[in-house]
Every structure is written in structure tokens, then in C-alpha cells.
Chain A
Amino acid sequence: MKTDDLISALSRDARRTGPSVHGRLALALGVGAVAAFALLVATIGIRPDIAAASRTMLFDLKILLVATLAVAAVALVRAAARPEADLPKAVLLVPALLVLFGIGHEVATQLPAALPMRLVGKNWGVCLVAIPLLGALPLAAILTAMSAAAPRNATLAGALSGLAAGAIAATFYGLHCTDDSPLFVATWYSIAIAMLAAAGAAIGRRVLAW
């Protein structure tokens, strides 16, 4: 086939263009976040002592930690959508430093005997089920938007989509969960978010390749 004929045919398809991939991602994140929050409120709900909890340092640190992880993951997904962009990996430093600060604070202020109990907490089972379920819709929305993208590495782009969906879900789940210990968050939230990242990688490998 002649390249010139191909160009003629491609140019006749020029009219059907939607918003850029960043526009699609913004819409997907908005829809996904609203859906996850609505699902949280409709099912397990927000913890009753939210007003008192929000004045404690550990609760604020927990929410700040997962929220900064969500922002960092979104920045990574936006870069992964473009073939020519390098991933701004440094954005992960903020949530990483917050985790280290939280664990350091916990070890410094708690009795050593209390640490294992704070790590296991009360809600780890709920956490491992709720975060992946709350994150499923955001993940589907992000992957749908990413299907217009041109990622260099489809598996990585899928994993980052899962990371973003997981961090968004974890931020909302944090409003329900009464375990505020950074040890608990660093362990169980991470496992739950990693489950979504693994799911995103497995799906991304298939649907984001081009």
C-alpha cells in the first residue's frame, strides 16, 4: 500500500477527536472520586467521631499521607500517558517522608510492647476488602481514559493507574477507619493499594499496549 493513500485515508478521519488525554484523565478522576466517596457513604460510612478525630495529629497525618500519595500518583499517571515524558519520580518523596516521619513518631512515643498491637489494629480485614472495592470504579475510569494514551510501558502505566485509584480509595477509606497508627497505615493501606496496583498492571498490560 502507498503511504500517501494511507495519509489521505487517515486525514479523512480527522474530525473525530475528543479532548486530550489529560482532559480525559481529569474527568475520570473526578467521576472516580465521586463514585468512591458515594460508595463509602452508602455502605460502611464515615466514622462517627470524625469531628474529634480530625483534631488529632495521627488522623491528620494519615489523611495527609494518602492524599499526597494520590496527588503524586496522579502526576505519575499524567506523565505515563505521554510517550515523550519522563516520570517525575521525585513526587513520591513527599508521601515516603511522611511515612518515615509517622513511623519514627510512633516508635518514639509508644511503649515497645504496644507497637505490635498498634500495627495489627482492629480493622485490617475491613481495610484489605474496602480499599480495593472502593478503588475499583476509579481504576476502571482511569484505565478507560488511559486507553487514548500512548504509554511507553503499558504494564507500568496500568500499575500507576492502580496506585492512583488505590490512593484515592484509601483517602476516603481513611475517613471510615478508626486505626490511625502510622504503623497500621504503612502496613495494611500499602497492601490494599498494592493489590489495586497489581490489578492495574495486569489489565494495563493487555489494554494499554499500542
Chain B
Amino acid sequence: MRAGLAGDEGAYARLLRELTPFLRTLARSGLARAGRSTAEAEDIVQDVLIAIHTRRSSWIPTEPLVPWVRAILKHKLIDFLRRRGTVGHIDIDSFAEVIAAPTEEPGIATRDVVKLAENLPSGQKAVIRAMFVDGHNTQETATALKMSEGAVRVSLHRGLAGLAKMLRGSI
């Protein structure tokens, strides 16, 4: 995470990939505890990943990372359940042991974030689509859209912030 905050893309991607199974386990047990289908766990995982990204400066580098990640997940899980009309107490500290993590995951959310991107300004939409759907990296996106790499990064950054905002209203 420290390397990620300093701008090391590879280290940051590795961190997010390593966190994902942990998030998935917590999201599934949280949903199960609330008596809801675990099919929506991937939506929560993706929400949490976006929140980790957009709120990463709220992590203090001298503090342990895991409690911060758990707190982000708990916040998003409560938010999700509240929006779905499930009220109840969630004790995140004890449910990690309840359900073992499934080893293989499709990793596909039921809700399509890319569809939400339709509501973004056209430049940001094009960048999000090039990267999420076509799987281009920054350089390829810049070439395909005839933009500078810096402009692609700015559009991606704003687009992700916009998506994070829209996700709050969508679930």
C-alpha cells in the first residue's frame, strides 16, 4: 500500500489482488449473516475496491492496513444492507471464521459498473470503456483516443471518482 500511495502501479495492483479474496470472504459472510444471498458479494467487493482507491489517503501509513480495510468493508456492507432494507447488527470481527473462502471465484459482479459509466462526461466515458471493456493500458488508450497519457490519467481519475459517487446511488 505504501508503494501504491507512492505511485507504484505494480505493487498497488498486487495489493488489491491479494486483498480481493479476503474482501470476498468477509462480504459473503456478512451477507449470509444478514440472511441475504451471497450472489451479490462481488458487487460489494467492487464497491470496497473503489472505496479503498478513492479514500486511500485516509489510511495513515504508520498504522496497520488490515483494520482500515475491514472498516471500509464494514461501512460498505452496512450501506449496502441499509439500502436493501436489511437492518441489523453486523459483527465483522467474528464472522471471518464462519465461512471458509471458496477457492475459485468467477469474480464477476451482477451489476455492471461499465453501464453506469454511460452517465459520465464523454471523455471520461471513452477512457473508462477503453480500459475496462477493451482492456487497454494507459498508453494504448492514449493512442486509441488520440490523447496524451497525462490526459488519460486525469480522465480515468475523474471517471473513477464519478463512478464512486454514482455507486452510492445505484445499490
The chain A residues found within 8 Å of chain B, CB to CB, are 1-22, 24, 81-84, 148-150, 152, 209-210
Partner of A16, one of B10, B42, B75, B157: B157
Interface residues of B in 108-155 (CB under 8 A from A): 108-109, 112-114, 128, 131-132, 135, 137-138, 153
**Nearest-neighbor residue (CB-CB) of A7 within chain B:** B16
Per-residue A-contact encoding for B41-84, CB less than 8 Å = 1, 0 else? 01001100111011111111101000110111011000000000
* Given A16-B153, A150-B58, A150-B75, A210-B13 contact (CB < 8 Å): no
B136 CB to nearest A CB, Å: 10
**Nearest-neighbor residue (CB-CB) of B3 within chain A:** A14
- With an 8 Å Cβ cutoff, the count of chain B residues facing the other chain is 53
Listed A/B pairs (15) with beta-carbon separation below 8 Å: A1-B113, A1-B132, A3-B46, A3-B49, A6-B46, A10-B13, A10-B16, A14-B13, A17-B5, A19-B57, A20-B60, A82-B68, A84-B71, A148-B57, A150-B71
* CB neighbours of A24 from chain B (8 A): 57
Candidate in A5, A14, A18, A81 with the most chain B CB atoms within 10 angstroms: A14
**What 4 pairs between A and B have smallest CB-CB spacing?**
A11-B13, A83-B71, A84-B71, A150-B55
**Nearest-neighbor residue (CB-CB) of B56 within chain A:** A17
* Given A3-B109, A20-B60, A149-B58, A8-B51 contact (CB < 8 Å): no
Give how many A-B residue pairs fall within 8 Å (CB-CB). 132
Interface SS majority for chain A: loop
In the complex, what distance in Å separates the CA atom of A51 from the CA atom of B74? 53
Partner of B138, one of A2, A12, A17, A149: A12
In the complex, what distance in Å separates the CA atom of A11 from the CA atom of B132? 12
Say yes or no: B113 contacts A6, CB within 8 Å. Answer: yes
Say yes or no: B9 contacts A83, CB within 8 Å. Answer: no
Interface SS majority for chain B: helix
Given contacts A1-B114, A7-B13, 8 further A-B contacts (CB under 8 A): A2-B108, A9-B128, A10-B12, A10-B49, A12-B131, A13-B157, A83-B58, A84-B71
Say yes or no: B153 contacts A82, CB within 8 Å. Answer: no
Say yes or no: B75 contacts A1, CB within 8 Å. Answer: no
**Nearest-neighbor residue (CB-CB) of B17 within chain A:** A7
B160 on interface, CB distance cutoff 8 Å:
yes
In the complex, what distance in Å separates the CA atom of A205 from the CA atom of B132? 32
